[in-house]
């Protein structure tokens, strides 16, 4: 079965120009069950050798949906960077220190490993909706890590030793972090896999008309897969890796503070 269901060629009986340049347009529509971005990648690979030997004055441009997607990617990249910067500055102002926000930002970056693993396992291409899922994931990961680190710092202010504070904060905040992840993942499963249940029919006729998979899955599925896989991996980071990083960075900050204080203190005089 061909991945392209309909192919359109421009009528050569008349000349078409864009910005005074003569243009010949070839357009196509992806067949049901095929991904348009994957088809475009295959076409680009197929035409790479021809494009390298094309005569001077001619060029091949991939426009239409691909051009719009590239513009959307550029916009979302700027939005993502601006959002991360604002989150970092707000956390610095809230914690009054750089170490804790820096650890949280590292956790956000490491959560992308889970996104990549999820896309590889589900064989989902990285598209526009996947990028939106990554942006949404960053907000959830930041929230879970703030809950844990903020409580750890409060316990230290109450007089707990660092090691005891980390253990107590992990045990106390374990349930909120896990519940946040589980409720988000369970809520996204019907949207990601297209699970439909007729609740009216279930109540009236005891017929739920259970359906698995729908056309909307191709649109919402990549976003749901990114959030589910990334959040599952980020939960492990929040409960295991982030406390380890907090302990390491806190010890490093304490040692550096002691070094700088030692350099700033005047050396005692030598008695005669």
Could you give all domains of the chain from N- to C-terminal order, each with its CATH number?
4-52 (no CATH), 67-248 (1.20.1640.10)
- What are the tens digits of pLDDT across the range 215-263? 667 778 888 888 999 999 989 888 888 899 888 888 887 787 777 766 5
Which residue in this structure is represented by tokens 């120009």?
Answer: 17
pTM above 0.85, yes or no: no
Please report the pLDDT score of residue 272 as a whole number. Answer: 40
Please report the pLDDT score of residue 53 as a whole number. Answer: 78
Please report the pLDDT score of residue 270 as a whole number. Answer: 45
Please report the pLDDT score of residue 268 as a whole number. Answer: 52
Say how far apart CA 166 and CA 149 lie, in whole Å: 9
Please report the pLDDT score of residue 48 as a whole number. Answer: 78
Task: Write out residues in the chain with pLDDT < 70, as ranges.
Answer: 1-16, 20, 32-36, 198-199, 202, 208, 210, 212-216, 261-272
Residue 216 neighbours by CB under 8 Å, 6+ apart? 191, 194
């Amino acid at each position: 079965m061909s991945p392209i269901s309909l192919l359109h060629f421009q009528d050569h009986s008349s000349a078409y120009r864009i910005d005074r340049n003569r243009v010949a347009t070839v357009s196509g529509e992806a067949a049901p069950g095929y991904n348009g971005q994957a088809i475009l990648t295959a076409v680009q690979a197929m035409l790479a050798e021809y494009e390298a030997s094309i005569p001077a004055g001619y060029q091949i441009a991939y426009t239409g949906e691909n051009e719009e997607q590239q513009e959307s990617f550029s916009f979302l990249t700027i939005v993502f960077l601006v959002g991360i910067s604002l989150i970092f500055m707000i956390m610095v102002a809230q914690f009054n220190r750089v170490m804790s926000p820096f650890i949280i930002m590292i956790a956000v970056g490491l959560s992308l490993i889970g996104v990549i693993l999820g896309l590889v396992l589900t064989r989902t291409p990285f598209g526009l909706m996947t990028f939106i899922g990554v942006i949404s994931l960053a907000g959830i990961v930041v929230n879970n890590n703030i809950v844990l680190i903020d409580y750890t710092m409060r316990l230290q202010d109450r007089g707990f030793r660092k090691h005891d504070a980390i253990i107590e904060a992990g045990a106390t905040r374990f349930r909120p972090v896990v519940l946040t992840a589980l409720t988000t993942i369970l809520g996204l499963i019907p949207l990601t896999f297209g699970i439909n249940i007729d609740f009216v029919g279930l109540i009236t006729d005891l017929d739920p008309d259970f359906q698995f998979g729908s056309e909307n899955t191709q649109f919402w599925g990549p976003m749901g897969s990114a959030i589910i896989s990334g959040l599952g991996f980020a939960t492990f980071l929040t409960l295991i890796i982030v406390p380890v990083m907090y302990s390491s960075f806190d010890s490093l900050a304490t040692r550096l503070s002691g070094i700088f204080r030692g350099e700033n203190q005047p050396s005692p005089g030598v008695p005669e």
